[in-house]
Every structure is written in structure tokens, then in C-alpha cells.
Structure 1
Amino acid sequence: MRIALLAEGGYPYARGEGGAWVDRLVRGLTGHEFAVYALGRSERAEAAGMVALPPQVRDVRALPLWGPAPGAGAVSGKARRRRAQALEQYRDLVGVLAGDAGANGVADRFASVLYGLAELAREDGGIPALLRSEHAVRVLEEVCRAPGARPLVAQAGVGDLLLAADQVERVLRPLSAPWYDEFGDALATADLCHAVTGGTALLPALLAKRFFGTPLLVTEYGVRLRETLLLHRAAGLSAPVRALLAAFHRHLAGEAYRRAALVTPGNAHARRWQEHCGADRERVRTVYPGYQGPLPEPAAEAEGGDPTLVWVGRADRGKDLIGLLHAFGEVRKEEPGARLRVVRAGEGDPAYLEQCRSLAAQLFPDEAADAVTAGESPVTFEELGSPGAPALPDAYAAGDVVVLSSVVEGFPVTLVEAMLCGRATVSTEAGAVREVIGGTGLVVPPRNPKALAEACVALLRDPERRQRLGAAARERALELFTVERNLAAFREIYLDLVAHAPGRHAPLRDPDGTPVPFGRPAESRVPGRWTAAPAWALAAREPAYAGAERRERA
């Protein structure tokens, strides 16, 4: 089976968890061939190079969404007419983004304008430059100032309009990617398009379905729409620019969810967002990500010693280590010998980590809060790979209870790791925490240090309960969160979607309507290079026919 993987800001450049699960998927499904279509979000990520690719990845095609737009090229009379039409389509598109998102028929209007613009971009490579031109900025200004535009959008100044035009061109750049040639690109002959991220990667996947009828599978292991909106805010974009971009991404996600043969969220939290944005629950199936690395053995509790809590993860504000330190202060009142080990795994926020160290020194002034070796302080700050925690299983085994204190969380990988190690856990209810834990750990409200402390004390005082919960947690993790389970799910999904997809390619015909024998390349179902259009098939598209086809499209 030939699979086209589409990703924005991820595989094959990302080296974190965002690209790791895709790498595990590709490596595990050895019976298929993959072509990767990568939409790059930063020059820095692409400069670092790609991860090592397995042999089943036959092709990688990259389209940077950063940097200047491609040049306009030569302008003929036909090109001028197409670009005038493109400006009108752009006007309609901006009108949808600037108007009332809840108006009747707005989703259909968005889809109609988007596909119309895509048809023009497919024929004219100068559309990206056009969308950054002064003409586009004027169109944008006219629409934002017109009656019916939302008040927030109408407040846009000159700087906002220039920035909005630039950002809208970037998200529309995939329309002009050289990926939609019926004979010259692997996207046309793929059996299935798998968008392994949301965001702009959905756009070429939708066009493949539009132009070639390719079935679409959408997988999101986070709420990509929410992440995009937060990134816009963090980047300091003004409110009018954020409003236009948010409308585009909401409509794009909704169109993809409606057109997808199947949507596979990584947890129920993401699933609720997708259904809210238009996904049909009959075509949504939760597929949990698989744990990366060899499965650890269950960790035995150390006999004797002080009762110990362990926190593992990236030190950033969403993890609420400040709240955990305050909760640990309450724990110490009930269990004076208790200890807390903070083990950093992965990059975080150095300034936030220093703030946590300072708070620990204030809460426990009689002890050195920045010590690394256990025994000198009730709170120790360590790094994964240090002598006290050389590997993840060692970090989890060093405590009696594993704590997660997040206020913002997607899929809590650290909880899965702790469960596989057979550890009892206390977690705050954020993201998919409750779904992951099930009934195998204690869950408390976020930003509630008192409740967190009470749950920790309850488990620290009950070894039998800890052992029972830890054993149940490991069994649950082995049942739901292994790579093998993830691969089996996608292997079944791929076969099911392709088996139920209708025949997509009608016979090639000449200008008189007569079928051209062997006008399309034969399909390959064995490992090897994707079948290219043979010379005789290309010869069948003689200049007269090719010209007639282009005139028909125009």
C-alpha cells in the first residue's frame, strides 16, 4: 500500500515526541511504502537535518512555510486573467474569515472559495507572490473595512493588514505546492493520505482528496487547533490578525474533519474538540500513542527509608511545580520525614526552574534546597542521567508515589511511564489524565495544593494500597499504551479505509472522448520504487491533448 504522510512542523525533522510516534509508525509498518510531505515551520528545524529514515520511506518532499514566497514568474495574458480571478477568490475567502463564523452556510462558502483558489493555484505558480502583493493588501483592507466585518477585524491598522496578508499567504502556500500533477507526483498515486498533524498539513491532504479522490485519514495526538491559537498569542500577534488566522484554522479543521474517511484522536480530550469542530462521531476512533523504548520491569519498593514523592518531566509553567512545592509543604506537616525528588527529563524553562528552586529555599529555609544528593534536603532537583536517576525506570523506582501536578496537559506520557513501572500515582485532572489513569491512581483538581497533599499523604501511609494500584496501573498500560497496540490499530485502519475506498481513476480520454489504452501507470503492490508514468503513457498525452486539457481546466 502506498501512503502519503503529511505533517506540519514534525516528522521527519522533529526530534521530540511530536515526530517520534510517526517514526515508530513508519518503522513498524514495513509492508507499506511511504512518501512524506513535510511543511516546515522554521528554518532552524530544517537546518538540523532529517532523522534517519527507514527504507520504506521512498520519498520526502518539503515545503517551507517560512521565508519569502516563491517568485511570480512570467506574466502572460492568460496568467493575468487567472491572477485577477485569484484576487476575487481571495476577496471571498477573506470575507469568510472576517465575517460571522456562525452564519448559515459559512462552512460551504469557505470550502467553495478554498477549492476555487486551489484550482487557480494549481495552474499558476505565481499565486503566492500575488497574495503578498499590494493588491492583496488592498483587498484585505477593503474587506476588513466593509459592513458586516466583525468589529475586532475592523480595528486592524496598516501594520496589522500587512502582517495578516503575510500570514494568510503562508497558510495558503500549500495550494501552490508542486504536488498535484496527476502523472508527476506520488500524491496522485497514493492509496491513502494520512495527515499525522492537524494545522496546515490538512490543506494538501484535502486537495489530494479533491483532485484525485484519495481517502483521507486525520490523526491528532494533541488539540492542534488550540495549540495554534496559543502559538499565535505567544508570538505577540495583534488581536485582529489572530482573529483572521483563527477563523481560517477553524474552518480548515472543520472541512478536514467533514471530508476525512476517519479521524483518530489520541485521547478523549482531543476527540471532544474534534467533534465540536464538526467531526462526525461515527467516523472518529481513539487510537492511543504507543510508549517509546523497551518496556521497563515493575520497580520494587525500597524497604525502609523516608517516604518519597517523585515528579518527572519538563520544568515549565504548565506543569505547576510551584503548586507542587506548596503541596509538599503540607505533606511535610503530616509526614515530617517525607522527601520530594524533582527529576527533569527534557528541555524546559530555565527561568521557571530557578523560580522553583528559590521557592523551595523559602519554604524549607533550614535546608539546602538545591542539593542533588538525597538526604541533604527534603526537595532535590535532579536531571535525568545523573547518578541519582540514570534512566527513567530508576527515577520512578526512587519514589513511593509518582506525582503529576500539571494545569495544562495533553497526553501525559510521564504517567504512562510511571504506570509501566508499576508505580502508584497522584495526578491533577488536566487533559487526558483521567482517561489514562482510569481507576489505577488518585486524581485531584488542578491548582489545589491542599487536595494534592491529602492524596499524597493517603498513599504514603498505605503501602498495600500503593502496591495494588501500581500493579493495576501496569496492567492497564500494557493493555492500552504499547507500540504494538498502536501499530496494530493503524495497520487495521489502513486496510479498512483502502478496502472501502471507491475506484478513483477514470480512464484517460483524448479530446474526442475516446479512452487512451494504458494512459495511466499500472499500480504496484510489492516493495520497491513507486511506479512512474511510462514513456508511452506520457506520449499518449500529445501536445494537442495536453493543450485541450489545460484549456478545459482554465
Structure 2
Amino acid sequence: MRIGLLTEGGHPYATGEAGLWCERLVHGLGQHQFDLYALGPTGTPSPSRPLPLPPNARTVRTGDVTAPDAETVSSRIERAAFGDDRASRRAYGRRERRRFTEAFHALATGLCAEHDETSFATGLYALADLARERGGLPGALRSDDAVRALETACRAPGARRIAAAACLPDHLAFADHLERALRPLSLDWYEDEALGAVDLCHATAGGTTALPGLLAKRFFGTPLLVTEYGVHLRAHYLSPAVAGRSAPLRGLLAALHGRIAAETYGQAALLTPGNAHARRWQEKCGADRARIRTVHPGIAADRFAEVGEDEESGDPATLVWVGRVEPAKDLVALLHAFADLRARQPDARLRIVAVPTAEPCADTYLTHCKGFAAQLFPDEAPVAHAVGENPVTFEELGGPEAPTLEDTYASAAVVVLSSVVEGFPTSLVEAMFCARATVSTDVGAVVEVIGGTGLVVPPRNPRALADACLALLRDPERRHRLGAAARARALELFTVEQNLAAFRGIYLELLSHAPVRHRPGDGVPFAHPAEAHVPGSWTHQAVTAGTGAPDA
């Protein structure tokens, strides 16, 4: 089978969990041919230096959909104020301009209207047809024709109240965002020798990553499989960049990403969320339950085997937290909880091990947490070294105190997660592989992952967090029992092997339901009957009979 794997900043360029998952999928399903389509070099060292590929994979296309525009919103406001429409008039002739206006009006109406679920898709595919036949779509989406059509849709009867409140800066900012979101429509991937040649499109995320899969289904009838380990729409709502926008602009952006999600979920042959939390988001966006199948992410368990099999490792008074340092992890509540716990058990220690990240707010939040810890423990100011001499230590994964994840989890009696927002808690699964008891807040997919093998408390409740940690620190037998159960559960549900087995079956299932398509160059259909593959005296006759060649 030939798979078109659609990634955003993913394999073979990206590092991190997304890149690792795609790499394991490609290497693990060696019986299939993978054509890799990477949207943008986001998060990559360089698109010219991809990761080594196995024989069954090749990089077919790379589309940079993240390049900045030359024209700023402020310059467009000035141009619009003086009625300068020359850019849009140069892009298309009269006929194409009329096609674009009609298509964009349908798309904008679907975004602004309260109960119009079909106009958006109509406009989206009409724009895709225009881009494929004529090109020039990015310029048209930035044109004043587009802004005027958007303004008309916002002011039309039946439009959402929040859309009707939008003003010119909102329209221009949204038009810029829309142009970026729809850049996949202008890629050169929709050809017979590109996506037209694959048997199945597998999008490794929703949102813009799945748009090429939607168009492949429209142009070639190719079935679409969408895997979401982090729901794109949820990520949009939680993005700090959205919080600073005006209310009308936030409403338009939410409508755009909601419509894209709904269309993706409606057209996909199958959705494979990574957990029940993601599944509920998909169902709320209109996904059919019959076409949803939860496939947990696969995490390499081998590296944690030695720690998991050593029941005696770990300091009986040490709590460990591992993750990206950001406000959603609520380290302030964790420090409050630890101060309460330490008042009742003075020998307790807390290691906060930060995973390196490029997030701009990470350093600021880390500094804030260190300062707060110094206030809580004024006589023992936390430092980033000398584990055991301070009640709280701030360390970085890969540093001298925490060289590897295995070493970090091996030092713990209890692993703690204090988040107020969480998707799939990878750190908990890693702790479970290491047979560590866990205390977690009830957010995201935590309960689904833990499944009764750890303690779960409400978020933003430091006292409950402290009580649960103290209960495990004071009860070694219970701690070891929960750790062993956690390891058994992780090995059953969250390994790379179970993930590959699930997708191996899904690929074959989807292909069995897809219509047979014969492409030029594939050879003669049924040229080799089944009996031709069984050794015996009839093999030569079966092969020649199937091909129509003479026997001699």
C-alpha cells in the first residue's frame, strides 16, 4: 500500500514527540510505501537536513506555509483607506475574479452565519479548484475584494453578533490569518504523480495539516485517515497569541478553525484520537462515533525497563516533577502543596526537572517559580544543584543532576503532575514504565491513562495534592503495589508495538473499503493469479495464462 503521510513540521525534519511517532510508524510498517509530505520547516533544524529515511519512505514534497508576508496589516489599512485596489486587479482577470469573489463570499458566509454549515465547505472547495486551475490564490486572499466580501458577510442578516461587531482592523487581521491557514490549497501536491498516486492519505494532525488530505479526497477520491494526539481546535483556544486579540477577531478565528475541524471530521474515513479526551472534542465538533477509534500513542518502553524492574531504587522521601515549565503546569500550586507536605514530613524533597523548550514564556515562569520557592523556604533557598541539600531543586533534563529521564524517575518515590491543562500526559506514562507511583490532577486524559494505578486529585487544590503525596510517602507497600500495577498497565496499552499493530490493521481495513483504482504503469490487473504464488508444476502455466503470453 502507498501511504501519503501528511505532517506539519514533522518527519523527516522535526524533532520531538511528533517526529518520533512518525519515524516509528514509517520504520515499523516496512511493508508499506510512505510518501512524506511535510508542511513547513516548523521546529526543524533545516529542511535541507532531514532525518535518514528507510527504504520504504521518500520525501516527495515540502511546503513552507509559515513564511511571513511582506505587507503588514497597518500598511493594508492605509491602502484600503485610500481605495488602492491595484494588487487584486493584477492577480486575476475578470472571469477568475468573479469566481474568486463568489467562492470567497460562500466561505465567509459560512464563517459568519449562525447556522450555515454548508457554505464554508462550498467556498473552500471552490477556492481549491480555482487555485489548482489558475493559481494566484494567496494574492487574492490578501486583496481588498476579499476584505470587502468578509465585511459584507459580517454585516449580513443572520450573522453572528460577534462577527457583526468586527471593524476594519479585525477584517484585515483575519484576512491575513485566513490566507496563512489556506496556503495548503495552493501547493503543487494535487497531481496524478503526487497525492493522486497514493492509496491512502494519513494526516498526523488536524487543522491545516489535514487540508491536503481533504483535497486529495475531492480530486482523486483518496480515503483520509486523521490522527490527532493533540486536538488542533483545542490548541487554538489555549494559544496565548489568541488571548490578546479583540473579541470579534477571536470569534472569527474560532469560527474558522471550528469549520475546518468539522469538515475534516466529516470527510475522514476514520479518526484516530490518542485518548478519550481528544475523542470528546472531536464528537463535539460533529464527528461520527462510528468513525472514531482511539489509538494510544506509542512510547518506547525499553529504555525504562531497567528502572522498572528494580523495585528497590528511588529515594523514599523524594518527589519528582518532569515536564515543560509553563503556567499550565501550575508549579505554583505544586510548591504550595510541597510546603504543606514538608511541614508534616521535614525530610521530604522535591525535584523539579524542566524539559528544554523554545517557548518564550518558559524562562519568565521558571524565574517566577524559583522566586516563589525562595519565599516559601527562606532559610533554604532552592538552587539548581546539590540534590539532597535543599528541599526544592530546579534542574534541567540533560544536565549533571538529571542526565536522562531514566535517572530522573529512578530517584523518585512518587512522580507528581500538577497541571491545570493537559492533553496526553506523556510524563505519567514514562513514570508508569518505571514502576513509579503517581499523584496527578484530574485534567485531560490523566484518569484514562492512570486507570486506578495512581492517586488523582482536583486541580488547583494544593492541600489535596499534599495529602495524596504524603499518603504514598508514608506507605511504601502501597507505593510499590501501585507502581507495579502502573507498569503492567503501561506495557499493555502504551507501547510502540501496540500502536503499530493498531495502524497496521487500520490501513488494511481502510484499503479494503476503498474502490479499486487502476493507474497507468501498475501492470495488468490480475496478471498473476493466486495459484501463481504457490510452488508447483502449474506455476508456469498460471503465470503465462494470466499475462496472455505463449507457453513456449
* Structure 1 counterpart SS, 2:343: helix
Deviations 1:101-152 (A, max 9, x none): xx2xx22232222222222222111222112112222222222233332222
- Kindly provide the amino acid, as one letter, of the partner of residue 14 in structure 2: A
Q: Alpha carbons of 1:32 and 1:150: their partners in 2 closer, same or farther (altered >3 Å)?
A: same
1:156 and 2:166 matched: yes
- Offset at residue 457 of structure 1 (A): 0.8
Q: Alpha carbons of 1:230 and 1:476: their partners in 2 closer, same or farther (altered >3 Å)?
A: same
- Offset at residue 277 of structure 1 (A): 0.7
Structure-2 separation of matches of 1:283 and 1:5: 20
- Offset at residue 51 of structure 1 (A): 3.2
1:374 and 2:378 matched: no
- Kindly provide the amino acid, as one letter, of the partner of residue 26 in structure 1: V
CA RMSD of aligned residues (A): 2.8
Structure 2 counterpart of 1:481: 494
Deviations 1:435-486 (A, max 9, x none): 0000110010111000001101111111110111101100101111111111
CA contact (8 A) 1:424 1:440 kept: yes
Q: Alpha carbons of 1:173 and 1:232: their partners in 2 closer, same or farther (altered >3 Å)?
A: farther
Tell me which of 138, 160, 173 is aligned to 2:183. Answer: 173
Structure-1 separation of matches of 2:124 and 2:237: 21
CA contact (8 A) 1:118 1:176 kept: yes
1:355 and 2:368 matched: yes
- Offset at residue 43 of structure 1 (A): 9.0
Deviations 1:161-181 (A, max 9, x none): 222212112222222221222
Structure 1 counterpart of 2:507: 494
CA contact (8 A) 1:7 1:195 kept: yes
- Offset at residue 235 of structure 1 (A): 7.1
* Structure 2 counterpart SS, 1:458: helix
- Offset at residue 408 of structure 1 (A): 1.0
Tell me which of 192, 202, 217 is aligned to 2:210. Answer: 202
Structure 2 counterpart of 1:403: 416
- Offset at residue 500 of structure 1 (A): 1.5
Where relative contact order (Cα < 8 A, 6+ residues apart) is larger, the structure is 1
- Offset at residue 304 of structure 1 (A): 9.9
Tell me which of 323, 327, 330 is aligned to 2:337. Answer: 327
- Offset at residue 425 of structure 1 (A): 0.7
- Offset at residue 79 of structure 1 (A): 4.9
1:93 and 2:103 matched: no
- Kindly provide the amino acid, as one letter, of the partner of residue 480 in structure 1: L
1:250 and 2:258 matched: yes
Out of 456-465 and 127-136, give the one that drifted further.
127-136
- Offset at residue 308 of structure 1 (A): 1.3
Q: Alpha carbons of 1:15 and 1:492: their partners in 2 closer, same or farther (altered >3 Å)?
A: same
- Offset at residue 522 of structure 1 (A): 1.8
- Offset at residue 302 of structure 1 (A): 5.2
1:117 and 2:127 matched: yes
- Offset at residue 9 of structure 1 (A): 3.6
Tell me which of 273, 278, 290 is aligned to 1:270. Answer: 278
Deviations 1:380-417 (A, max 9, x none): 12222333332211111112111111111111111011
Q: Alpha carbons of 1:77 and 1:376: their partners in 2 closer, same or farther (altered >3 Å)?
A: closer
Structure 1 counterpart of 2:476: 463
CA contact (8 A) 1:40 1:46 kept: no
- Kindly provide the amino acid, as one letter, of the partner of residue 142 in structure 1: T
- Kindly provide the amino acid, as one letter, of the partner of residue 310 in structure 1: V
- Offset at residue 249 of structure 1 (A): 1.6
CA contact (8 A) 1:107 1:255 kept: no
Tell me which of 461, 485, 498 is aligned to 1:472. Answer: 485
- Offset at residue 369 of structure 1 (A): 1.4
- Kindly provide the amino acid, as one letter, of the partner of residue 316 in structure 1: E
* Structure 1 counterpart SS, 2:118: helix
* Structure 1 counterpart SS, 2:127: helix
Q: Alpha carbons of 1:114 and 1:436: their partners in 2 closer, same or farther (altered >3 Å)?
A: same
* Structure 2 counterpart SS, 1:368: coil
Structure-2 separation of matches of 1:485 and 1:418: 18
CA contact (8 A) 1:83 1:127 kept: no
Give TM-score scaled by structure 1 length: 0.85
Structure 2 counterpart of 1:57: 57
Tell me which of 411, 434, 439 is aligned to 1:421. Answer: 434
Structure-2 separation of matches of 1:384 and 1:304: 18
Structure 2 counterpart of 1:438: 451
Q: Where do 5+ consecutive residues of structure 1 fail to align?
A: 506-518, 526-554
Structure-2 separation of matches of 1:63 and 1:211: 19
User: Which residues in structure 2 correspond to 1:195-344 (within 5 Å)?
Assistant: 195-231=203-239, 233-234=241-242, 236-292=244-300, 294-296=302-304, 297=306, 298=308, 300=310, 307-344=317-354
- Offset at residue 305 of structure 1 (A): 6.2
- Offset at residue 218 of structure 1 (A): 0.6
Deviations 1:22-56 (A, max 9, x none): 12111211111111222227598656853333332
Q: Alpha carbons of 1:388 and 1:171: their partners in 2 closer, same or farther (altered >3 Å)?
A: closer
Structure-2 separation of matches of 1:164 and 1:330: 48
- Kindly provide the amino acid, as one letter, of the partner of residue 460 in structure 1: L
User: Identity percentage over the alignment?
Assistant: 59
- Offset at residue 317 of structure 1 (A): 1.0
Out of 77-86 and 4-13, give the one that drifted further.
77-86
Q: Alpha carbons of 1:395 and 1:501: their partners in 2 closer, same or farther (altered >3 Å)?
A: same
Structure-2 separation of matches of 1:422 and 1:77: 62
Structure-2 separation of matches of 1:79 and 1:521: 38
Q: Alpha carbons of 1:375 and 1:401: their partners in 2 closer, same or farther (altered >3 Å)?
A: same
The count of residues paired between Structure 1 and Structure 2 equals 506
Give TM-score scaled by structure 2 length: 0.86
CA contact (8 A) 1:2 1:34 kept: yes
CA contact (8 A) 1:299 1:393 kept: no
Structure-1 separation of matches of 2:279 and 2:110: 26
Q: Alpha carbons of 1:43 and 1:471: their partners in 2 closer, same or farther (altered >3 Å)?
A: closer
* Structure 1 counterpart SS, 2:286: coil
CA contact (8 A) 2:107 2:122 kept: no
Out of 160-169 and 458-467, give the one that drifted further.
160-169
Structure-1 separation of matches of 2:230 and 2:186: 28
Structure-2 separation of matches of 1:345 and 1:247: 34
Structure-2 separation of matches of 1:371 and 1:174: 45
Structure-1 separation of matches of 2:486 and 2:392: 26
Q: Where do 5+ consecutive residues of structure 2 fail to align?
A: 71-85, 526-552
1:127 and 2:141 matched: no
- Offset at residue 294 of structure 1 (A): 3.0
- Kindly provide the amino acid, as one letter, of the partner of residue 341 in structure 2: V
Out of 77-86 and 236-245, give the one that drifted further.
77-86
Structure-2 separation of matches of 1:77 and 1:17: 41
1:83 and 2:97 matched: yes
Structure 1 counterpart of 2:538: none
